[in-house]
Structure 1
Amino acid sequence: MKNNYIPQFNDWVKKENVQVLKKLENSDFKIGDIVTFTNEFGVQFENLEIIGFRNNKDFLPDRCVYLNKSSYWFPVKVSEIKK
């Protein structure tokens, strides 16, 4: 069975007062989409759910997609995911 990190993600968002967007401008991705994430070393992680987006121009501006994975708190780049 696949792990579900959404409860932890939601707790983290509330505790840290993180602004999570429901939609990302200029993107076809949406919350609930199932994607494949390819990290910077070329390792692919399949069947991950998009659980939110962020818009932080000051810190890691390219990393804006939150995925339902163990490091839910660390967003990935749009260029690293595909449907």
Structure 2
Amino acid sequence: MFMSKFLGLLQMLAAIVLIIFASATLVNSILISARPETISVVNAIIGQGVVIVALLSFATICVRKSIKNLRRTEDP
């Protein structure tokens, strides 16, 4: 029981960290878009878009697993 709750809290913490990383990447992408338009800027924005989607997907998985572990009750 304790380990599943502890694991759930760790997964929720990981999800929060992933969301923070995705937000920081989004801010970085906005700052990069202020530069003059070159192919490397476009490539960076596309790459960071992929990274943001991946981070948010992993965060969603962590949140779902965390909620599942936190709601788990011990069988009698």
Query: What is the TM-score of this pair, normalised by structure 1?
Result: 0.22
Say which one has the larger Rg.
2
Please identify which structure carries the higher helix content.
2
Please identify which structure carries the higher strand content.
1
Bigger relative CO (Cα 8 Å, ≥ 6 apart) = 2
